[in-house]
């Protein structure tokens, strides 16, 4: 028997010959034939072939199609002198969706194979050399084991009779090398391309990294982040669920090795260069955006930072808060917005006009992006906000009315009851909370306007929702303000106290995860709407959001565009 040492430099045709002779005592082709493409294999009856090809094209992240054979075609143009019946380390046989055994050769099924079609699908083993060249260790190769593969809760785009959830591979990557790993793989579309998730496995529905569904557990070193790529074993799951009378696949990790060299990645435009940003610590979550989209959002951030009131807000600015906040909102399913700052005491209610227009701009783009959105405000301002929302719908600013809520503290767990179903932190109603020009509680428990007037008697305790959100995993918060006394500005309270007039008294003490500082708070709302549009039209971010399954969402671009704020709106 031949052991694994030195196989990484052996040419593919030699490796296939060795495999064909059953002379390898290994369980995976990871690390072999460096620089050459490897392929997942699915073999189906010809009557299913057209639908499976459509399924591959609809889910080209996990199932990048390298070649579809003709019925009974055992040789493959991807490799010279090959025979699909013998050239994988191991095969699996499925009958009516049930796994019935493993085989070293399919020759005994030659008669059946005459009516079957072979699909060769790209494999992440193909990008291992590129990842290593970027200075990133391949932990499973170091640990001499197969890569870890997991079933997820992410549904693929179905093409009857093929439907299943996405399968992913997990590779530990040092936190300092995340962006390098994304950059190294994003251009290798035939090898699954860029990762589809980085961080907490629970966000994919994976319960325990130590128990992979396929392959071997791979140990994370200190400082490693679990990074997930779409996996061709998704095809195996599709075969199981379609319940074909007879089907074959490779055994996970036992790939077909082709003669094709890996694609070389050329210098790319900023539209194609990915950036990685951490958007949550609990649970740990990263997101991806193109350098071009990130720069556009930074330009927005600079524009709204103009200080017409000369308050000194430049001292409150934190780089990339708009970008990170909008990446977080982009991943959210349901968003709660709050606004309301009483200043005009001669009126009833005494609201100012900074806040509601920005809140509506955010709500409009969230509706266009098909996210759930609600607004919570003070009980005394409910009728005013109801009329504003009704008029916004009549004018076409909103597609439909936004649910309008109020919050009062009735018990110690009122905030938790408001934010979560049955007070259960594992079932939050909202993923993201946004406060825009909302009066925020100061360190002494009071609420102040810019002139140090205490307005506590006019404020409902909506701050409690932001404090409670800090204790609920997966719920993130954004504060938008222009003076430092707004809800969420606690993140920059030291700067407020030092640089803003009356800051030592009026500074909000309640922090948000992200703090967007604008010359006028409404500008911050408009910028959030525009940044969400930029992210939605970014192909790199769109692919990451949909986990590389289904089709790009860019066909909805005009709907998103029509939802953006304008002078008339």
Angle between helices 521-536 and 321-331 (to 10 degrees): 60
Q: Which of 494, 359, 348, 335 is nearest to 438 (CA)?
A: 359
**Per-residue pLDDT tens listing for the chain (569 residues):** 444 455 666 788 888 888 888 766 666 788 787 888 999 999 999 999 999 999 999 999 999 999 999 999 999 999 988 999 999 999 999 999 999 999 999 999 999 999 999 999 999 888 888 899 999 999 998 998 989 999 999 999 999 999 999 999 999 999 999 999 999 999 999 999 999 999 999 999 999 999 999 999 999 999 999 999 999 999 999 999 999 999 999 998 888 999 998 876 554 677 889 999 999 999 999 999 999 999 999 999 999 999 999 999 999 999 999 999 999 999 999 999 999 999 887 788 888 899 999 999 999 999 999 999 999 999 999 999 999 999 999 999 999 999 999 999 999 999 999 999 999 999 999 999 999 999 999 999 999 999 999 999 999 999 999 999 999 999 999 999 999 999 999 999 999 999 999 999 999 999 999 999 999 999 999 999 999 999 999 999 999 999 999 999 888 999 999 999 998 88
The 3-state DSSP composition of the chain as helix, strand, coil percent (nearest 5) reads 35, 25, 40
How many other β-carbons are positioned within 10 Å of the β-carbon of residue 454? 15
With beta carbons less than 8 A apart as the criterion, state whether 73 and 255 touch: no
- Which segments of 407-452 does DSSP mark as H helices, in order? 414-419
Our measurement of the distance from residue 247's CA atom to the centroid of its chain's CA atoms, rounded to an integer in Å, reads: 33
Domains of the chain and CATH, by start: 12-261 (3.30.2040.10), 311-563 (3.90.1640.20)
Full-model pTM: 0.93
- How many residues in the chain? 569
């Amino acid at each position: 028997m031949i052991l694994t040492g030195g196989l990484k430099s052996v040419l593919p045709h030699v490796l296939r010959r060795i495999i064909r002779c059953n002379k390898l005592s290994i369980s995976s082709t990871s690390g072999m034939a460096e620089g050459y493409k490897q392929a997942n294999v699915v073999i189906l009856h010809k009557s299913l072939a057209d639908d499976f090809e459509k399924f591959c094209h609809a889910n080209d992240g996990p199932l990048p199609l390298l070649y579809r054979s003709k019925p009974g075609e055992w040789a493959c143009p991807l490799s010279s002198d090959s025979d699909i019946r013998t050239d994988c380390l191991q095969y699996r046989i499925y009958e009516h969706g049930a796994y019935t055994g493993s085989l070293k050769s399919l020759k005994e099924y030659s008669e059946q194979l005459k009516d079957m079609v072979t699909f060769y699908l790209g494999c992440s083993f193909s990008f291992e050399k590129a990842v290593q060249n970027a200075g990133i260790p391949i932990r499973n190769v170091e640990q001499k084991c197969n890569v870890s593969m997991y079933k997820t809760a992410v549904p693929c785009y179905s093409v009857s009779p093929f439907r299943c959830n996405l399968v992913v591979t997990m590779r530990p990557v040092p936190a300092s090398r995340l962006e390098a790993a994304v950059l190294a793989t994003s251009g290798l579309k035939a090898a699954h391309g860029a990762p589809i998730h980085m961080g907490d496995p629970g966000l994919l529905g994976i319960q325990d990294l130590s128990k992979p569904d396929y392959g071997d557990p791979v140990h994370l070193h200190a400082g490693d982040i679990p990074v997930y790529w779409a996996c061709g074993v998704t095809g195996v799951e599709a075969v199981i669920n379609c319940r074909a009378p007879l089907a074959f696949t490779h055994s996970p990790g036992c790939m077909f090795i082709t003669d094709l060299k890996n694609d070389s990645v050329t210098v790319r435009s900023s539209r194609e260069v990915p950036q990685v940003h951490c958007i949550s610590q609990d649970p740990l979550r990263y997101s991806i955006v193109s350098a071009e989209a990130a720069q556009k959002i930074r330009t927005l951030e600079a524009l709204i930072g103009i200080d017409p009131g000369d308050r000194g807000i430049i001292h409150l600015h934190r780089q990339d808060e708009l970008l990170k906040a909008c990446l977080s909102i982009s991943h959210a399913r349901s968003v709660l917005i709050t606004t309301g700052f009483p200043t005009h005491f001669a009126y009833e209610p005494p609201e100012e006009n900074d806040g509601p227009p920005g809140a509506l701009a955010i709500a409009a783009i969230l509706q266009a992006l098909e996210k759930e959105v609600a607004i919570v405000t003070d009980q005394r301002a409910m009728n005013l906000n109801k009329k504003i929302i009704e008029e916004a719908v009549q004018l076409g600013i909103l597609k439909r009315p936004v649910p309008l809520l109020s919050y009062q503290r009735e018990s110690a767990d009122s905030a938790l009851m408001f934010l979560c179903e049955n007070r259960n932190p594992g079932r939050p109603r909202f993923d993201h909370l946004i406060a825009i020009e909302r009066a925020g509680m100061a360190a002494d428990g009071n609420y102040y306007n810019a002139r140090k007037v205490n307005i506590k008697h006019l404020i409902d305790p909506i701050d409690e929702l932001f404090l409670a959100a800090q204790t609920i995993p997966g719920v993130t918060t954004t504060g938008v303000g222009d003076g430092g006394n707004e809800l969420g500005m606690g993140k920059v309270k030291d700067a407020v106290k030092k640089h803003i007039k009356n800051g030592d008294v009026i500074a909000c003490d309640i922090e948000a995860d992200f703090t967007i500082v604008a010359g006028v708070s409404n500008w911050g709302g408009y910028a959030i709407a525009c940044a969400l549009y930029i992210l939605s039209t970014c192909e790199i971010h769109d692919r990451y959001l949909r986990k590389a399954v289904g089709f790009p969402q860019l066909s909805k671009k005009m709907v998103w565009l029509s939802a953006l704020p304008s002078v008339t709106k």
